[in-house]
Amino acid sequence: MTRKLWIVFFIVILADMMGIGFMNPVLPEFSKTLGEDTNVVAIGLWIGIVYSSLSFSRLFSLPIIGRLSDKYGPKRFICIGLFIYVFLALAFLLATDLSHIAMIRFARGITSAMVVPIARAYVGDLAPEGQEGRYMGYFNISFFLGMGFGPLIGTTLVDIYSFEVLFSTMSGIWSLAFLVALIFIPPRGGIKQQHNWASLSLSKAAKILKNRLMLGVFTSRILSGMATSATMIYLPLFITGEEYSIHSTLIWVGRLSALGYIFSAVLQFKTGKLGDRYSKVKVIIFGGIATNIFFFAIPFALNLTHLFAIRILMAIGPAFTIPTAAALATSAGRKYGMGVSHSLLNMSMSIGHVISPIMLGLLYDKYGINWVFNTAGIVGLVGVLAFYLIVKSYKGDGFKPADRLH
């Protein structure tokens, strides 16, 4: 991978994820306030619908966008996605009820299928064989830094200024990313592909999921996606809610979120290489357990110091699991096609993010927020167990240091 192209993808994904990071910690409070202003009942359920709408549209857009990208070239779709982002950020300024927010998020899900999955697959395609974990770890650094600095900046803007300033700033950042992509990403044929670039279809998905390692990763990522929705949606409400012991401001939500994502990004300078040297299966199992056991500690947090300690501990696990799962998808992509393997990896998280927000919203409305975090911990650990049970009978070299898919 050329240094110039790496920097371009780094900037594009950093800006993309920073915009998402702007919204994640403030969207629950924004939705709750909008719902209360319009006398909405079952606010937890509606917040779940708002979050699920993005993942739902993204889930069904991924295979379609993948095929169109194959036909017309990846640059075109990355640029189109970023260009539409600019106006979707401004559309939040016109929203007057939760259904408007859900529709904007639905459109955002379609365009998100045009950016990160395509960029991730290209980085995987250009990664040297045997160094997949290292390169996907570097790629994920931009992902985590964006998700880290985004909440920090976004909540500060809301705390000092307003939601209107936040949405306008999002639009500006995505405009910059669009220009970088438009100017510096090579046109179709400008990037030399080392491997088969095939888009996702049901037949190709079924073929790749016959490999027990990929089936294990796919299953565990669905359940992991279901668990992580709890921190993304309900941790901000746990911090800002007057009925809870912490009862702090949005700016602390941003700081807490930034700490976790940035810490995880820094760790990936080292952990991304572990999957290349040791068993990817064991790395994923360790990371999954290290993340999910701390969900059970959240309801016992009495102050921000407790939550900061829990968030740091929860950030360790993803630094192991995410680059290693991406490395497995890259290994599979050498045989089945990079577009197939990485679209499947993204779809697994989207499935979890479709189901979980609505399920957790119902639990929040009926039983309270403690049930949300405890359920997330259980679901996440079930995902780790499912991964182990699926891959334990794998007869290839899945438990050897090289860990390739054949």
The reply to whether 406 falls in a domain is: no
Q: Decide if 261 contacts 25 (C-beta within 8 A).
A: no
pLDDT (0 to 100) of residue 209? 83
The two tokens of residue 337 are 């096609």
For residue 357, give the nearest of 376, 344, 340, 338 by alpha carbon.
376
Phi, psi dihedral angles at 325 (to 5 degrees)? -65, -40
Question: CB-hemisphere CA count at 13 Å for 116?
Answer: 30
d(CA 82, CA 75): 11
Write down the residue that tokens 């500690």 correspond to.
297
pLDDT (0 to 100) of residue 401? 33
The two tokens of residue 246 are 């912490």
Residue type, 124: G
Q: Decide if 89 contacts 391 (C-beta within 8 A).
A: no
Count of domains observed in the chain:
1
Q: What's the per-residue H, E or C state across 161-220?
A: CCHHHHHHHHHHHHHHHHHHHHHHCCCCCCCCCCCCCCCCCHHHHHHHCCCHHHHHHHHH
Residues with Cβ < 8 Å from 192, sequence gap 6 or more? none
Q: How far is CA 394 from CA 279, 304, 390, 400, in A?
A: 13, 44, 8, 12
Element (H, E) at 148: helix 132-160
- The CATH number of residue 36's host domain is 1.20.1250.20
The reply to whether 400 falls in a domain is: no
d(CA 313, CA 172): 34
pLDDT (0 to 100) of residue 39? 66
Q: What is the DSSP letter of 272?
A: T
Q: How many other C-beta atoms lie within 10 A of the C-beta of residue 210?
A: 8
Q: Decide if 145 contacts 262 (C-beta within 8 A).
A: yes
Residues with Cβ < 8 Å from 190, sequence gap 6 or more? 75
For residue 310, give the nearest of 372, 244, 256 by alpha carbon.
256
pLDDT (0 to 100) of residue 347? 82
Handedness of CA 378, 384, 387, 389 (dihedral sign): negative
The reply to whether 398 falls in a domain is: no
Domain hosting 217: range is: 3-391
- Give percent of the chain above pLDDT 90: 31
Q: pLDDT digit string (tens) for 293-316?
A: 999 999 999 999 999 999 999 999
The reply to whether 77 falls in a domain is: yes
pLDDT (0 to 100) of residue 169? 93
The reply to whether 113 falls in a domain is: yes
d(CA 164, CA 94): 10
d(CA 221, CA 227): 10
The reply to whether 212 falls in a domain is: yes
The reply to whether 84 falls in a domain is: yes
d(CA 74, CA 258): 30
Residue spans of the chain under pLDDT 70? 1-3, 37-41, 70, 121, 124-134, 136-137, 188-202, 272, 275-276, 337-339, 394-406
pLDDT (0 to 100) of residue 126? 67
| Cα Rg of the chain, angstroms | 20
Q: Decide if 335 contacts 284 (C-beta within 8 A).
A: no
The reply to whether 396 falls in a domain is: no
Q: How far is CA 36 from CA 32, 326, 382, in A?
A: 6, 40, 35
pLDDT (0 to 100) of residue 63? 77
